[in-house]
Amino acid sequence: MNIKIAGGRVIDPSQSLDKICDLYISNGVIAALGDAPAGFVPDSTLDATGQVVCPGLVDLCAHLREPGATHKGSIAQESQAAAAGGITTLVAMPTTSPIVDTPAVAQLIQDKARAAGKTRVLPMGALTQGLAGEQLSPMHALASSGCIAFTNSRRPIRSSLVLMRCLEYAATHDLLVVFQAQDAELAGGCMHDDTTSTRLGLAGIPEAAETVEVARCLMLIEQTDARAHFGQISCERSARMIMEARERGLKVSADIAVHHLLLSDSNVNGFDSNFHVIPPLRSQLDRAGLRQALLADGIQAICSDHQPHDPIAKQAPFAATEPGIAGLETLLSLSLMLVEQDVLELPQLIAKLTWEPAQVLGIQAGTLAPGAPADICVFDPAAHWTPSAATTRSGGANSPFMGMELRGQVTHTLLGGTTVFQR
């Protein structure tokens, strides 16, 4: 099967490429860019004139809700949502029920994802058994069963000794450890601790809830020489600490959820539970600092931190609602606002959504280099659309961006050369 994607603006940061050219796919693999390979006869041609052709997006954090919470979302539904959002690889969190601390659960998730066939799902394994923060999980067995990295999610590992052992063991097998840094006691509130929380009387989560844990993790990463990544940081101070650690030579990286680059704690004014997220939306100063860090390469990736919910989960007083935003379908469009607001150039943004997150994971993805799997996102940068509960493919319509006109819309998503989404 030969496919030609003709006339699009091809942006591939892995090759520092940004030009209008044709792209050739043969048997599910990128065959060539620009000139057709010898003897190439396309079976089909996709006219991408006026559109951007880039690698399929790599999303470092998504909650698929299966197994265990299929009233909120399922692997099949969320995979469809991912495909509609141009995401061809996503990392699924281990906080399912049962938790991903046995190879069987990791296998189950991958089997279901393969059956859905819309996006590549890479499960993350639990760092400790049952995420209880006490015993090491069977990391080697989990990695052999397809777990791409290991995290304790936001569940605490109170003992620094246990945390150090986790890092040492992961380093033994060169496995990536992902931290969603949060001090459990300091993070007891439901929004950023500042003037808005004070006025609304909502219990605050101070910056220290994140920075204290980032600092502890960094010291132990340094001690153990482990490979680690900080997911969804929310404070400028965390970004600076991680950047300094990188400069010292630590093998660390970081990502941020797109909503933390666009919103701030003042949006909670009015108790709208769609703005209830963990880590909480921080101050406008944090948002500005995090945008700077993105530009200064202190943050490698932008993710969706997709957390679909059933409607009832958000229908309660603010603190009693479940945190999280469903974001697979809007990841690209929301990220494009950063280009519109002159934070990043388009190729820089694409890098944060494709090549750089793939590098964090150490996988062959997020690239259009010849020989790579033809995971491709084609989007119309000028198209306007409005996400709505009626049209979302995800199990959750919980997003403050529902009903808001966005710019930039995915038109085609290819997974290994197969069209998995087409508008």
Partner 1 sequence: MFEHNDPNRIQLNSNGQLRHFLTTEGLSRELLTEILDTADSFVDMGAKQIKKMPLLRGRTVVNLFFEASTRTLSTFELAAKRLSADVLNLNISTSSTSKGETLKDTLMTLEAMHSDMFVVRHADSGAAHFIASQVTPHVAVINAGDGRHAHPTQAMLDMLTIRRHKGSFEPLKFAIVGDILHSRVARSQIHALRTLGACEIRVIAPKTLLPRHIEAMGVKVFTDMRQGLKDVDVIMMLRLQKERMTSALLPSESEFYKLYGMTTEKLAYARPDAVVMHPGPINRGVEIESAIADGPRSLILDQVTNGIAVRMAVMSMAMSGQMVEKQLQQSASAAH
Give the angle 266-271-276 at the CA atoms, nearest 5°.
75
Any idea what DSSP says for residue 173? T
Q: State which of residues 70, 107, 129, 267 lies at the interface with partner 1 (CB under 8 A).
A: 267
Contact 145, 107 (CB under 8 A): yes
For the question of residue 305 being annotated catalytic, the response is yes
* Among 188, 142, 160, 216, residue whose Cα is nearest residue 151: 142
The residue range among 121-129, 146-154, 195-203, 224-232 that interacts with partner 1, by the rule CB under 8 A, is: 195-203
Q: State which of residues 312, 364, 384, 422 lies at the interface with partner 1 (CB under 8 A).
A: 312
Catalytic residue among 59, 194, 305, 380: 305
Between residues 237 and 393, which has the closer beta carbon with respect to partner 1? 237
Using CB under 8 A as the binding rule, the residues of this chain from 271 to 310 that contact partner 1 are: 271
Contact status: 315 vs partner 1 (CB under 8 A): yes
- Distance of alpha carbon 116 from alpha carbon 78, whole angstroms: 10
The residue range among 62-70, 79-87, 201-209, 244-252 that interacts with partner 1, by the rule CB under 8 A, is: 201-209
Tell me the backbone φ, ψ of residue 95, rounded to 5 degrees.
Answer: -85, 40
Contact status: 335 vs partner 1 (CB under 8 A): no
Any idea what DSSP says for residue 403? T
Using CB under 8 A as the binding rule, the residues of this chain from 387 to 406 that contact partner 1 are: 400, 404
Give the angle 303-309-314 at the CA atoms, nearest 5°.
110
* Residue type at 268 in one-letter notation: V
Contact status: 331 vs partner 1 (CB under 8 A): no
Q: What is the DSSP string of 79-134?
A: HHHHHHTTEEEEEEPS-SSS-S-SHHHHHHHHHHHHHH-SSEEEEEEESBGGG-SS
Q: How far is the CB of 344 from partner 1 (least distance, A)?
A: 17
Contact 16, 54 (CB under 8 A): no
Between residues 350 and 406, which has the closer beta carbon with respect to partner 1? 406
The residue range among 68-76, 91-99, 138-146, 190-198 that interacts with partner 1, by the rule CB under 8 A, is: 190-198
The residue range among 165-173, 250-258, 312-320, 411-419 that interacts with partner 1, by the rule CB under 8 A, is: 312-320
> By CB under 8 A, how many residues form the interface with partner 1?
29
Count CB atoms within 10 A of the CB of residue 16.
Answer: 9
Positions touching partner 1 (CB under 8 A) are 193-195, 197-204, 206, 262-263, 267, 269-271, 312-313, 315-321, 400, 404
> Would you name the residues annotated as active-site residues?
305
